[in-house]
A and B are shown apart, each in its own frame.
Chain A
């Protein structure tokens, strides 16, 4: 490798690290998470083993004998030589241990509160709250509700609990007591089976297709062509005007739309003298909401296509326009036969780019309708965000959310491939014949 190539790699290294950390790693992790049952309840980093009342319920349903479940569910504190020795190791005061050994050996208690109260009644009672709390665990001889950080500790605890379990039952208990996430393909199964899936795909298709068709490509083309035929100054002014939604902070921009649309907003006020009852135009019906969503996104998105198409039109050799004018072509015919054929490549680019960007974008919808009314504007990306990261009830389903995100990526790739075929990409990038 030449020294300049090495230097080049070296200079690229920071960027490569950033890309790896911020983009590649999250993408890979999303793929990995999609095959897990990760939620707020399971945590991300791994689980522990704890026989809770919910786990007991699952064990009963799984067919473990009622007597066995009851035995596991019973809570006991016992004073005997083993527990006293453990207590001594744990630093419980010698006088307390002595009093327990001599006067209370063999006694058992069925819950922690009773045992704590008993300890507080001793002559050699624990000196303070911290000592009292420390004196309790050594005497616990049951495993219910105790959190064990490793499988080995839990297995040992089950073995030592005195509840007889065969190997299958031990496995079952361990499985149900585990609080963490598991590997699973169930997320994909759930998606395939859910009626929501098709509805969400339909909504996403509607969102992407209408925004691109009407604005990001359609209206952008109109703007680019119209401003081409305008005198330079006004043309530039119109283009600058259409850039405003793009440069405005999105929160502010959507807030303006909300002010326009809500009950006491501009639309309702203006229409009131005409006898139209004030209403929240944005959320009044799914159709209204969709019109606003497409407008809100389209006004932002049109500017990019406009700029690209404008520069592409300017790049068309002027003699073509002169020649068509000499041939008597009208403006419309010029657009149809000169401009549009030359814009195939930029249109492909803008369509593909905007498709991918709209597929993944949901911030405007989140701010404007939050998927409402009902879930009629909840597109796929918004559903993924709400599932994985945003829940009023705190139910964050990381695994399911990741699955939704993975599907979105797959759809994006498929759509891009389809575009490449549709626009005959191979021909577009073919070497010019003249240079062959």
Chain B
């Protein structure tokens, strides 16, 4: 027999929601909803503007229901991630954060544990359109412990790029260039093959030393792809625990150390100015590099590459070496989250705005203007999307095999340790073996039982 106290936990909230639900929803007349978006630069303005469009729609709906609802949306975009996460965590701890967040899905685990966000499924119905039409794998990525915390805001994947004119100059035929994506996908063309070709480009004087392989210039989810390329697994699907694969980690570290030793990647590549990096890869200074689907917007926009498909080939991230690991790409969907700020009524409005902003016609504005991928099936059928060559090809070539980082509260310390070791080998401060040993000691010590060491 059940005891009453058991149920007390959820009841206060339930009673509040019931009060809202029993009668026509008792909206406050003037509501201010603040939205903070991380990693958001100019092409991504629809992350915030979509909520503004949704607010107009919700106001109209309320008016028809006989409510006079005025929603003011205050947006704040953060270019980077460090300052966004610092600003949000500190503001939220002091109760002055925003109502809605746009952030990477991997923050769900940490921020739900510290009580900074609410499960969005407490406020909106995922069986109702448009949420019912979202890709299920994206909804899974926005969930934790079987509870849906966020609504996917965009999807993407992270391709490997090669500059076609340079490939031609080292003797690649049209057919070889065209078949690169396929050869990468089936493991025939590997990361070490790429390093050899990058060296050829440099030796032939096609690109300057250090420009053969020109990776991302800063830390990012991208670097987990290389760990996967060398056979690593980030989390164990069985137990949900994180996984530290010694051999894969060592091979990944060694790969970057080898690239530096061969002279095709600069020793001090990480930390170079971002604008310089963007400009160089978009204008053919580099042979091979990697990025994200959204790079298309910058290459063809600000950087002025008018012939993207004629100059740039793209594929999955190749497997590490023959018989080792697999070709892969990572999708890192951003999600809309409702924070713990304000009362239930405020949270309900925030969640409804997010649901409306996820409608295909609104989300497609972000997807195409920022070169991200669709979050729902219906979105891909809108002409703006279906007639966009990049969106269509990137979806087909990459998204099917995309993996995602795990939602685990200890993932960010693990990521920090992984990155630190990679940086130490890259700059020659430590050998791959030393760095792996130190990383292993650090994960054991900091994560203890939360991580499986293989």
Residues on A lying within 8 angstroms of B by beta carbon are: 40-45, 47-48, 50, 52-54, 57-58, 61, 75, 78, 80, 82-83, 86, 89-93, 111-113, 116-117, 120, 126-138, 140-141, 143-149, 153, 156-157, 159-162, 179, 190, 193-195, 258, 262-264, 277, 279-280, 283-286, 369-370, 372-376, 389-397
Q: Specify which of B15, B267, B416 is in contact with A391 (CB 8 Å cutoff).
A: B416
Are A75 and B146 neighbours in the complex by a CB distance under 8 Å? yes
**Contacts A61-B449, A262-B273; is A156 near B5 (CB within 8 Å)?**
yes
Are A140 and B412 neighbours in the complex by a CB distance under 8 Å? no
User: Could you mark each residue 4-21 of chain B with 1 if its beta carbon is under 8 Å from any beta carbon of chain A, else 0?
Assistant: 111111110111111111
Are A390 and B11 neighbours in the complex by a CB distance under 8 Å? no
User: Could you mark each residue 114-125 of chain B with 1 if its beta carbon is under 8 Å from any beta carbon of chain A, else 0?
Assistant: 111000011111
Are A145 and B145 neighbours in the complex by a CB distance under 8 Å? yes
**Contacts A41-B114, A92-B18, A395-B413; is A160 near B6 (CB within 8 Å)?**
yes
Q: Which residues of A are found within 8 Å of B273, using beta-carbon distances?
A: 258, 262
Are B427 and A376 neighbours in the complex by a CB distance under 8 Å? yes
Other A-B pairs beyond A130-B25, A372-B423, A395-B412, 20, CB < 8 Å:
A41-B409, A58-B450, A90-B18, A91-B19, A91-B22, A116-B125, A129-B124, A137-B7, A153-B8, A156-B3, A156-B5, A160-B2, A179-B113, A193-B445, A283-B271, A372-B271, A375-B424, A393-B412, A393-B416, A397-B413
**Contacts A61-B449, A116-B127, A160-B5; is A146 near B10 (CB within 8 Å)?**
yes
* Nearest A residue (CB) for B426: A374
Q: Which residues of B are found within 8 Å of A179, using beta-carbon distances?
A: 113-115
Task: Report B120-159 residues with CB < 8 Å from chain A CB.
Answer: 121-128, 144-147
Q: Tally of A-B residue pairs with Cβ under 8 A?
A: 257
B interface size (C-beta, 8 A): 89
Are A263 and B147 neighbours in the complex by a CB distance under 8 Å? no
Q: Which residues of A are found within 8 Å of B121, using beta-carbon distances?
A: 112
Q: Which residues of A are found within 8 Å of B126, using beta-carbon distances?
A: 113
Q: Which residues of A are found within 8 Å of B113, using beta-carbon distances?
A: 41-43, 50, 52, 179
Q: Which residues of B are found within 8 Å of A375, using beta-carbon distances?
A: 420, 423-424, 429
Q: Which residues of B are found within 8 Å of A138, using beta-carbon distances?
A: 7, 10-11, 14
Q: What are 9 sample pairs from A and B whose C-beta atoms fall under 8 A apart? A: A54-B410, A112-B121, A130-B20, A137-B10, A146-B10, A156-B5, A263-B272, A372-B427, A393-B419
* Interface pick from B80-88, B306-314, B326-334, B375-383: B80-88
Task: Report B431-446 residues with CB < 8 Å from chain A CB.
Answer: 438, 441-442, 445-446
B408 at the interface (CB under 8 A from A): yes
Q: Specify which of A147, A392, A396 is in contact with B115 (CB 8 Å cutoff).
A: A147
Q: Which residues of B are found within 8 Å of A373, using beta-carbon distances?
A: 267-268, 270-271, 423, 427, 429
**Contacts A131-B21, A156-B3; is A395 near B415 (CB within 8 Å)?**
yes
**Contacts A58-B449, A262-B273; is A195 near B9 (CB within 8 Å)?**
no
Are A82 and B1 neighbours in the complex by a CB distance under 8 Å? yes
Q: Which residues of B are found within 8 Å of A54, using beta-carbon distances?
A: 109, 240, 408-410, 450
Complex formed: what's the CA distance from A138 to B93 in Å? 30
Complex formed: what's the CA distance from A75 to B146 in Å? 10
Q: A182 to nearest B CB, angstroms?
A: 14
Are A126 and B427 neighbours in the complex by a CB distance under 8 Å? no
Complex formed: what's the CA distance from A141 to B5 in Å? 11
Residues on B lying within 8 angstroms of A by beta carbon are: 1-11, 13-22, 25, 81-82, 85-86, 89-90, 93, 106-107, 109-111, 113-116, 121-128, 144-147, 209, 218-219, 239-241, 266-268, 270-273, 276, 348, 408-413, 415-416, 419-420, 423-424, 426-430, 438, 441-442, 445-446, 449-450
Q: Specify which of B2, B22, B123, B424 is in contact with A141 (CB 8 Å cutoff).
A: B2
Are B115 and A82 neighbours in the complex by a CB distance under 8 Å? no
Q: A412 to nearest B CB, angstroms?
A: 25
Q: Which residues of A are found within 8 Å of B240, using beta-carbon distances?
A: 53-54, 57
Are A120 and B127 neighbours in the complex by a CB distance under 8 Å? yes
Q: Which residues of B are found within 8 Å of A146, using beta-carbon distances?
A: 9-10
Are A86 and B115 neighbours in the complex by a CB distance under 8 Å? no
Are A134 and B8 neighbours in the complex by a CB distance under 8 Å? no
Are A390 and B82 neighbours in the complex by a CB distance under 8 Å? yes
Q: Specify which of A40, A280, A369 is in contact with B110 (CB 8 Å cutoff).
A: A40
**Contacts A57-B450, A375-B424; is A137 near B11 (CB within 8 Å)?**
yes
Instruction: From A140, A372, A391, A393, name the one whose CB has the most chain B CB atoms within 10 angstroms.
Output: A393
Are A86 and B11 neighbours in the complex by a CB distance under 8 Å? yes
Complex formed: what's the CA distance from A48 to B117 in Å? 13
Q: Which residues of B are found within 8 Å of A397, using beta-carbon distances?
A: 413
Q: A339 to nearest B CB, angstroms?
A: 43
Q: Specify which of B10, B17, B106 is in contact with A130 (CB 8 Å cutoff).
A: B17
**Contacts A57-B240, A131-B18, A141-B6; is A372 near B125 (CB within 8 Å)?**
no
Q: Which residues of B are found within 8 Å of A133, using beta-carbon distances?
A: 17, 21, 122-123, 125
Are A394 and B107 neighbours in the complex by a CB distance under 8 Å? yes
A-B CB proximity, top 3 nearest: A130-B21, A131-B21, A137-B10
Complex formed: what's the CA distance from A161 to B86 in Å? 39
Q: Which residues of A are found within 8 Å of B441, using beta-carbon distances?
A: 195
**Contacts A57-B240, A89-B11, A393-B416; is A128 near B21 (CB within 8 Å)?**
yes
Q: Which residues of B are found within 8 Å of A130, using beta-carbon distances?
A: 17-18, 20-21, 25, 123, 348
Are A43 and B115 neighbours in the complex by a CB distance under 8 Å? yes
Q: Which residues of A are found within 8 Å of B125, using beta-carbon distances?
A: 116, 129, 132-133
